[in-house]
Structure 1
Amino acid sequence: MSPNSNLRTPNTGGTGHLQPAAARPHRGLRLLPLAPLLAVVAMSGCTTVGPNFKTPPAPAVASYTRAPLPAGTASAPGSMGGAQRFGATQTVAPDWWRQFGSARLDDLVQQALRNSPTLAAAEATLRQAQQTYAAQAGSTLYPTVNGKLGVSRNAFSSSSFGQNSGSTNIFNLYNASVAVNYNLDLFGGNRRALEALAAQADYQSFQLAGARLTLAANVAVTAFNQAQLGAQIEATEAILKAQESQLDIAHKRFALGAAARTDVLTLQTQVEQTRASLPPLRNKQEQANHLLAVLIGQAPGAADIPRFTLTDFALPSNLPLVVPSDLVRQRPDIQASTALLHAATAQYGVAVSNLYPQINLSASLGTQALTTSALFGPGSIVWNLAGQLAQPLFNAGLKAGANAAQASLQAAGANYQQTVLQALRNVADALRALDNDAQTLQAQAAADASAQESLKLVAQQYQLGAASYLQLLTAQQQAQQTRIGLIAAQGQRLADSAALYQAMGGGVLNTHGTSPVAPMATAQ
């Protein structure tokens, strides 16, 4: 059986005949006694029991949403108001965050991908899985060869040989030998176990890809959130300033008897309510900075996190739309679920193989002598060649083990289907959010335009003496309140775009996936 036998094409063939152990004189140290074992290993056929893994078919749907998507989203004047169009593609750009046009964001993402402890742990776990596969492959695909060199001092009483002399023979025994052991794996249990380990390594590879995608998305969305909070803090501070001016005027009018105390108290309440809204916003902004520091692998107190503004970013005008049949090969979570299904299939094959005979072959070749000078001399050769076949006759647990592995396979299949459904839902949510939030921004932009126009008219009236200063302050406050809603809508469009890139798989995989330890993990 070749170490690289294809798991999907069982081979059949004859087996060699084992000779009984023997010892005979021989001139020199020769390897002829090992030839029968090597011939059996090379010529014996092998059959792999259990089901062969087949990649699940792609979802039989043509679109993510029941209602057709518009050709493009709504547009609005101003920042982040451009229309976005969806372009069909098979893959997403691996460095998709560059589409937002911020060099500082690009630097942060690169720092995170280089320094994140989460990625370091995922990479180490992948190496562990790959080395576990390599270790198991080395001990099961090939015969194990061990060398032994020993010496012992022995004493035998003559009475043990039926003599009555009572004498004791004391002598030294020197030996040197090479032993070979091999499990014939006639029904493929070892190969199925290796196939499961290879699939586990694939799973860890896709987990690493998913961690990279999540990390990049978290950095981008947190940067957008930091910029949004900064703009909202500025707008709130402007509102607070206008309210404090109104309150100051109210105090003066009250002192002159031109205003009631209730008016002063009402304005005082508004001022304090606005003032109370600032600390939570600043707290969220600081939390965003702390999160960015951790994402790039630094302590919050030591990291120099840039202060982003919404004007630092550009809204991508063209967004990728991977069709559902390609999405299953693009998203790391679906590929990881596929690898787990592959592992469960192989583990079921291991459980089935346990019901069949196990054949172990062993051979040893060495020398024995009473002195070191005679250790490799004529007549010192000893060798043995043995074979063992073990067939379970009654073990109720083996069948139960196979049934358990089959149930695990069924659970892995159901989990795969659920992962695909969640992925389709994730994309559908992102697409609808892009469309609906674009309409929200359109309405907020219209409201902001109206508020700014109203403020402009009041300011003109104030200059002409047709409006009071209080009316001007009120118009300024309303304009800032409207601006806060516009800022939130602008930030949300950026976050929605990043969410779609993430939902599409983020370009971290190619359409053929990755296979760190093929060929054992090759799917049919």
Structure 2
Amino acid sequence: MKCAARIAATALTTTLLTGCTLGPDFRRPDVIAPTHYGQEPQDVAGGTYGGPVDIAWWKLFHDDELNRLIDRLAVQNIDLQRGMQRIEEARSQTRIAAAQGLPNMNWAGSYTRTHQSSTGFISLVQPRSGAPNEYDFFQNTLGASWDLDLFGQIRRAVEAQHATQEAAIEARHGLALSTLATLVNSYMQLRGVQDQIAITERHLSVSDHDVSLVEARFGNGAATTLDLAQARTEQANTASTLPNLRNAESALINAIGLLLDEPPRSLAIELARHEGSMPIVVPAAPIGLPSSLARRRPDIREAEARLHVATAGVGVAIAAFYPDITLTGQMGTQTLSAANFFSLPSRQFATGPTLSVPLFEGGRLRGTLALRKAEQKDAALAFHQTVMTAWNEVDNALTAYAQAQKRLVQTEIAWQESRKAVSIAQQQYREGAVDFLQVDTAESAALEAEANFSANRIQIATSFVSLYRALGGGWEYAAFTEKNAPTGSN
């Protein structure tokens, strides 16, 4: 506290002149971070190291289309625009709270035409001879007041509003990070689905060729009815997977469009598959140090601001127990004639302090103080929980990123070997050494192996996105809209 909660009577005069601010002062919570993250990925294509977190990490994919989408995201996303409005609301609330501690002045002028009833109160007195029952009344008043805020109730309220404003800013940063991760994830999944479509179409082409081959051999008596049925079954099964894949592709394109406030299907041409659209494996990713995580993640900084709000609220509740003095004054003129409106005898004024002392509130003040203290403790626990959650998310993301890369080697080997098996089975079938069941089995395995390899590449990309989301990097892409937003000062 900046002054003792109880003020001795001998110090009352000094207190009235200088004022003080009651309640606990906010101090940034200490965060005891681990010295390092878990074991970094070893023997994988994309490792991690302790360099500063890249705030434009999506550019590590070297995808121009993705970069263009993110450039549009900052200005087109509706959630980010709403977040900016919540910041403006908080700024306005701060200005309103600050105005309570400043002197205020107002002017009022009035004119009334009055007709007194001869049977009303005027009948109880003897009016002066010739005095009219109807007259004009002119009044002009300039008033001013100033709450001295002796014990800092207003100052603590302003402090709380400043912290609320910071919380709104950090909430938008968190929203920007979440929106960014959602866009990049959707984009990666889209490229994965499109690759699955291309893989399926290639295998369908092979299945079509197999059906033609078996039909020709069946016509020559070299193939059985079972061979023909198996070939057509493989063809139908392969073709049956395409509708679901195309449905997923359309849904992901629309999801990206929604993030950019674009109508459905408007990005279909722009996001069509092209050669080289599959994401690359990032060669190395800087992940920073655990000690910097609390200063980088928006949710931790928002939780800290919420704790600041609650701490200042305790000060507001404590100050409510103490007297408050407001200086007031007014001056102006009053007259029954417009001709005397500005004359010296028509002047009137009043000035003096107003002392307000809480005597009996029925337990409201004590209840409010208990509530604010409970809110402060809850906010402190929420901050601690947010920090612990952040560390867990980073550790889990690091593990997922490493394991997805380790799986990549095995899925690629399986794909390459399955292609060899298909080639051998087809050759042996043409030579009559095996029946078509061998070809069918080999081709099914090859389709699954290639699909797994493609899906694993996408899993690596989405694991990388999850890692950087956990690290709290990337929200800065949307920060320029906050700097360019009007602040106002009236």
Fold conserved between structures, TM > 0.5: yes
Corresponding residue SS for 1:482: helix
CA distance, structure 2, for counterparts of residue 407 and residue 475 of structure 1: 66
Residues 19 and 152 of structure 2 are in contact (CA less than 8 Å); yes or no, is this contact kept in structure 1? Answer: yes
The answer to whether structure 1 residue 230 and structure 2 residue 190 are counterparts is no
In structure 1, distance between residues paired with 2:135 and 2:192 = 90
CA distance, structure 2, for counterparts of residue 208 and residue 164 of structure 1: 73
Paired with 2:70 and 2:254, the residues of 1 have a C-alpha distance of 15
Q: Which has the higher helix share?
A: 2
| Aligned partners of 2:77 and 2:260 also within 8 Å | yes
Q: Is the 8 A contact 2:137 2:337 kept in 1?
A: yes
Q: 1:284, CA displacement in angstroms?
A: 0.9
Give the percent of matched residue pairs that are identical in Structure 1 and Structure 2.
26
Q: Which amino acid aligns with 2:381?
A: A
Q: 2:109 aligns with which of 136, 149, 156?
A: 149
| 1:437 aligns to 2:404 (yes or no) | yes
CA offset at residue 126 of structure 1? 1.0
Residues 117 and 146 from structure 1, CA distance in 2 versus in 1: closer, same or farther, beyond 3 angstroms? same
CA distance in 1, matches of 2:106, 2:128: 42
Q: 1:59 to 1:201 in 2, by over 3 A?
A: same
- Measure, in 2, the Cα distance between the counterparts of 1:302 and 1:270: 35
Distance 1:176 1:14, change over 3 A: farther
| RMSD of aligned alpha carbons | 3.2
Deviations 1:273-300 (A, max 9, x none): 3332222111111111111111111011
Say which of 430, 438, 446 aligns to 1:479: 446
**Greater CA drift, 204-213 or 268-277:** 268-277
Q: Does 1:388 find its partner at 2:354?
A: yes
Residue of structure 1 in register with 2:157 after alignment:
193
Matched, 1:494 2:468: no
In the alignment, structure 2 segments of 5+ residues that lack a partner are: 484-490
* Preserved contact between residue 320 and residue 501 of structure 1 (Cα < 8 Å): no
CA distance in 2, matches of 1:218, 1:318: 22
> Map of 1:41-52 to 2, 5 A cutoff?
44-52=17-25
Pick one of 87, 110, 113 that aligns with 2:49.
87
Name the SS for the 2:276 alignment partner. helix
2:68 to 104, 107, 127: 107
**Counterpart residue number, 1:379:** 345
Shift of 1:234: 1.6
Aligned to 2:486: none
Alignment equivalent of 1:130, drawn from 82, 87, 91: 91
Equivalence for 2:288? 322
- Is the alpha carbon distance of 1:237 and 1:469 closer, same or farther for their aligned partners in structure 2, counting shifts above 3 Å? farther
| Structure 1 residues 172 and 14: alpha-carbon distance in aligned structure 2, compared to 1, 3 A threshold | farther
Unaligned residue ranges in structure 1 (runs of 5+): 1-7, 17-39, 76-82, 517-524
CA distance in 2, matches of 1:450, 1:273: 22
Q: Which amino acid aligns with 2:293?
A: L
| Alignment correspondent of 2:43 | 74
Match of 2:142 among 148, 155, 178: 178
Aligned partner of 1:341 in structure 2 is 307
- The residue identity in structure 2 corresponding to 1:407 is A
Do the aligned partners of 1:292 and 1:305 also contact (CA within 8 Å) in 2?
A: no
Q: Distance in 2 between matches of 1:332 and 1:310?
A: 37
Q: Distance in 1 between matches of 2:188 and 2:209?
A: 32
**TM-score w.r.t. structure 2 length?**
0.85
Please, which of 404, 407, 413 is the counterpart of residue 371 of structure 2? 404
For residues 410 and 190 of structure 2, the distance between their equivalents in structure 1, rounded to whole angstroms, comes to 23
Secondary structure of 1:182's partner? strand
Q: How far apart in 1 are the matches of 2:127 and 2:465?
A: 94
Alignment equivalent of 1:60, drawn from 3, 9, 33: 33
Q: Report the Cα offset of residue 305 of structure 1.
A: 3.2
In 1, the alpha carbon distance for the partners of 2:43 and 2:463 equals: 14
CA deviation string 1:255-314 (max 9, x = no partner): 666655455444444433333222211111111111111111101133343224583333
1:36 matched residue in structure 2: none
User: What corresponds to 1:221 in structure 2?
Assistant: 185
Query: Is 1:204 matched up with 2:168?
Result: yes
Contact preservation (8 Å) 1:64, 1:425:
no
2:253 corresponding residue in structure 1: 289
SS state of the match for residue 43, structure 2?
Answer: coil
Q: Are residues 87 and 64 of structure 1, via their aligned partners in 2, closer, same or farther at CA, if it must alter by over 3 Å? A: closer
Q: Structure 1 pair 451/262, CA: closer, same or farther in 2 (3 Å)? A: closer
SS at match of 2:354: strand
Partner of 1:419: 386
Which residue of 260, 272, 278 corresponds with 1:307? 272
Deviates more, 1:177-186 or 1:315-324: 315-324
SS at match of 2:475: coil
Change beyond 3 A, Cα 1:310–1:48:
farther
Cα displacement (A) at 1:332 = 0.9
